[in-house]
Amino acid sequence: MTEAVSGPVVVGIDLGTTYSLAAVMTRHGPRVLRDQDGEALIPSVVAFEPDGTLRVGRAALARALDLPDRTVHSIKRLIGRAGVEIDAEAKRLPYRVRRGARDLARVVMTVPAYFDDAQRQATKDAATLAGLDCRRIVNEPTAAALAYGIDGSRDGTVLVYDLGGGTFDVSILRIQGGVFRVLATAGDTHLGGDDFDLLLAGDLLAASGATAVVEDSRVKQALRRAAEALKIRLSDAESAQLELDLSTGRTTTVHATRADFERRIATLVERTIDCCRRALSDAELDVGQLDDVVLVGGSSRIPLVRRRVAEFAQRAPRTDVDPDLAIALGAAIQADVLAGGNRALLLLDVVPLSLGIETMGGVVSKLVLRNATIPTSVTEEFSTQVDGQTAVDLNVYQGERERTADCRKLASFKLRGIPPMPAGLPRVAVTFLVDADGVLRVTAVEKRTGVQASIQVVPSFGLTRDEVRSMMSAAIEHARDDMAARELVELRNKGLAMVHGTRRALELADLPPDEVYSVKKAVAHLDRVLAAGAPVDELRAATDALSRLTAQIADDVIGSAVKKALGDTPLPKSVLPGSEPR
C-alpha cells in the first residue's frame, strides 16, 4: 500500500529478537510498512551466501537449513553483552560469533525496558553503522502503550505485558491527557517465545530418538523451525501433528496436544506473572487499580498466557491492536512527535536502578533513585576530606545496596585543579543528567574556582536482567546489614571531620586552659577510637561526648573561630575520595 506522508519522515522500528517491523505516521494514523510480498513481520535474520550475496528477512530465513552457520538470527540476545555472556549465548546458536555511503534515515528504535546504558548505546551504534540516524530510544512496552492510547480516550493506569521472542517486559503506565508516564518496569531478558521453542525442541528430539545428532547445526535449525511451527499450531488448535525430518534418513510423525504444551511451559509463564507482581509492587499499586491490561508480542497469543494474565489481573486483557504490530505502531507515533507532528503526546520513562557516587568510606550516595522519571537531572554538593586536597575521584555506581562493593561500577573520572584549601572548603557540585534515552552524563564542578570535569556513562558491558533482579533481591535481603555498615562509615567520617575541625578551631580560638585541656582530651579519645576501628556504639559515644563538650562553647569562641575558618556556607553532607594534599 502506498500512502502519502507529508513533511520529514521518521520511521518507527520494532527491533525484535524473532521478527522486526517498521512503521510511519500518515495522515490517517500510524501504518506498518510491508515488504515486497506484503508481509509486515520481517524475520530478524540475515544470511551470507558463499558468493557474498546478502539476504535479509524471509529470504534469509529460507536459507537457514542449508546455511545454518552463515545465517544470523536472535542477534538481539547479544546486543551490548560482555564476552562471557556472549560465549554462553553463542553455545545455543548454529553460527559462530566473533568480535569484531547514503543519506541518513531518521528512526526511533525500541528496546526492552530493562536494557541498560550499554545495550541502548549498542542499539544506537548499530543503527548508525546501518546508516540510520537514531533520534530516540523508546522502551518497547511504552511504545505499545502509545499504539493503544493514540485516540486520547484511554486515560488510566495500564499494565503492558510484552512477551516477545527473546525477552519479557512488563510496564505499569499512567496515561492522562496524552501524557504517558512509566511508573515501574520489570521483566526477564532470558524469557520469551524462543524459550518455549527450546522446550518443544527437546520434546521433538526425544520423540524422534535422534539424540546422537543434536550437535549437527542443520538438525538444530530443523528442530527450531519445527518447534516454532508446533507452538503456533497449538495456539490455534487443541492438538497438532507434525512430520519431523532431522536428516537421519527417516521421518518421524509427532503428535502433540495443547494440554501437554501448556504443562511444559507453565513454569515459564509463571515467571512472567511474578514479574507483573514486582512491577505492581514497585508502582505501589494493587491489581484493582489497573484500568487496562494490554498484551504485546507474538507469544502473548498462547492461550495459557492469556488465561494466566486474565486470572492475575482479574480482567480480560485487551487485544484490539495486533500484538505483533503494536510496538512498531507506537514507535511510529513517537517518531511523528519528534518530526513535529501535531499529536500532543509526552513520553516519560523511568530509571530501572538507582545511580550514585562513591563517598569516603566506600559508601554510595544515591542521586537518581530507582524508578525516577526520565529525563531527569539531580545536583548535590560534596567536599574534600583532607587539607590541601587538589583532586577528587568520582566513581559512579548503579544499584540499591549501600556499599560500593555491593553495587555495579559504571565509570570513573577525576576532577583536578582544585586549589589547596582546608578540608571542607571546596564545594564540588556533582550533577547526574539522565537523558530521554536513559544515557547518563555526570558533571563535577568546583564552585569556588569553576574547574570542572564530566563523563558520559556508556559502560563497556551491560547487566543482564537476571543480574538486575539479583541486585534487587540482595538489596532487600541485606538491607539491615547494609544500613548498619553505612551508619558505621558515616559515623567514622563524622568523627574524622570533628577531630580535624576541632583541632583547627582550637588553633584559632582563645580559650581558658582548662577548657582547652578538656576539649583536647575528648579529641584524643575520639582519635584513638577511630584508629582502633571501634564498633558503632563506642564510636557514637565518643563523637557524642565531643559534640556535647564543644556545643557548650560552639556559639561563642570556637563557633566564631569555625565560622572564620570555613565561612558561612553550610558544609556539604558528604566528602569525596581523592588525592592526598600536596
Asked whether the beta carbons of 459 and 412 are under 8 A apart, the reply is no
Domain ranges of the chain: 10-192+265-349, 193-264, 355-477, 479-575
- Segment holding 482, helix H or strand E: helix 479-508
Give pLDDT, residue 565: 44
| Average confidence (pLDDT) over 162-191 | 82
Give pLDDT, residue 559: 47
Asked whether the beta carbons of 42 and 21 are under 8 A apart, the reply is yes
Q: pLDDT at residue 251 above 80?
A: no
Specify the 3-state DSSP secondary structure of 469: helix
| Average confidence (pLDDT) over 130-152 | 77
In angstroms, the CA 405 to CA 391 distance is 23
Give pLDDT, residue 150: 54
Q: Which of 20-24, 144-148, 166-170, 508-512 has the lowest mean pLDDT?
A: 508-512
Tens of pLDDT along 282-294?
999 999 999 989 9
Specify the 3-state DSSP secondary structure of 243: strand
Give the percent of the chain with pLDDT over 70.
76
Task: Extract long-range pairs of 535-544: CB within 8 Å, 24+ residues apart.
Answer: 535/488, 536/484, 536/487, 536/488, 536/491, 539/488, 539/491, 539/492, 539/495, 540/491, 542/495, 543/491, 543/494, 543/495, 543/498
- Of the residues 116, 140, 203, 349, only one is catalytic, namely 140
Asked whether the beta carbons of 384 and 418 are under 8 A apart, the reply is yes
Residue indicated by cell numbers 518530526: 339
Q: pLDDT at residue 243 above 50?
A: yes
Q: Which of 128-137, 386-395, 443-452, 572-581 has the lowest mean pLDDT?
A: 572-581
H-type alpha helices, 319-464 = 326-338
Tens of pLDDT along 494-533?
777 777 777 777 766 667 777 777 777 887 887 787 777 7
- Tell me the residue length of the chain: 582
Give pLDDT, residue 562: 45
Q: Which residues of 306-337 are buried (b: 16+ CB within 10 A; e: fewer)?
A: bebbeebbebebeeebbbbbbbbbbbbbbbbb
Q: How far apart are the first and last CA of the chain?
A: 72
Q: pLDDT at residue 356 above 50?
A: yes
pLDDT bin (cut points 50, 70, 90) of residue 482 is low
Q: Which of 73-82, 198-207, 410-419 has the lowest mean pLDDT?
A: 73-82
Fold of the domain spanning 479-575? Substrate Binding Domain Of Dnak; Chain:A; Domain 2 (1.20.1270)
pLDDT bin (cut points 50, 70, 90) of residue 309 is very high
Give the CATH class of 193-264. Answer: alpha beta
Asked whether the beta carbons of 167 and 176 are under 8 A apart, the reply is no
At a CB cut-off of 8 Å and minimum separation 6, what does 344 contact?
Answer: 178
- Of the residues 116, 117, 124, 162, only one is catalytic, namely 162
Give pLDDT, residue 521: 81
- Give the C-alpha distances (Å, rounded to integers) separating 283 from 102, 170, 176, 331, 529: 45, 12, 16, 24, 44
Please name which of 179, 131, 136 lies closest in space to residue 10, comparing C-alpha atoms. Answer: 136
Residue with the larger pLDDT of the pair 118 and 565: 118
Catalytic annotation on 14? yes
CB atoms within 10 A of CB 41: 21
In angstroms, the CA 193 to CA 175 distance is 29
- Angle, helices 217-236 vs 258-282, to 10°: value is 80
User: What pTM was estimated for this model as a whole?
Assistant: 0.53
Most confident of 140-144, 190-194, 305-309, 535-539: 305-309
pLDDT bin (cut points 50, 70, 90) of residue 539 is confident
Catalytic annotation on 220? no
* Calculated CA dihedral for residues 458, 463, 465, 470, nearest 10 degrees: -130
Specify the 3-state DSSP secondary structure of 148: helix
CATH superfamily of the 355-477 domain: Substrate Binding Domain Of DNAk; Chain A, domain 1 (2.60.34.10)
- Of the residues 14, 197, 446, 482, only one is catalytic, namely 14
In angstroms, the CA 305 to CA 191 distance is 13
Burial class (CB in 10 A: 0-12, 13-18, 19+), 436: middle
Q: pLDDT at residue 107 above 60?
A: yes
Please name which of 324, 268, 266, 273 lies closest in space to residue 295, comparing C-alpha atoms. Answer: 324
Written as one string, the DSSP assignment of 510-558 is ---HHHHHHHHHHHHHHHHHHHTT--HHHHHHHHHHHHHHHHHHHTTHH
In single-letter form, the type of residue at position 216 comes to D
In the predicted model, what is the mean pLDDT of the chain? 78
Residue with the larger pLDDT of the pair 401 and 249: 401
Give pLDDT, residue 480: 67
Catalytic annotation on 162? yes
Handedness of CA 576, 579, 581, 582 (dihedral sign): negative
| Average confidence (pLDDT) over 367-389 | 84
Residue indicated by cell numbers 525477552: 167
Asked whether the beta carbons of 432 and 378 are under 8 A apart, the reply is yes
In angstroms, the CA 325 to CA 31 distance is 10
- What strands lie across the sheet with 71-72, from one edge to the other? 54-56, 46-48, 71-72
Give pLDDT, residue 467: 60
Q: pLDDT at residue 555 above 60?
A: no
Give pLDDT, residue 510: 66
At a CB cut-off of 8 Å and minimum separation 6, what does 561 contact?
Answer: 505, 508, 509
Distance from chain centroid for Cα 557: 53
Question: Is 10-192+265-349 a CATH 3.40.50.300 domain?
Answer: no
Residue with the larger pLDDT of the pair 324 and 101: 324
Peptide bond into 303 cis (omega under 30): no
Which grid cell is 376? 531527569
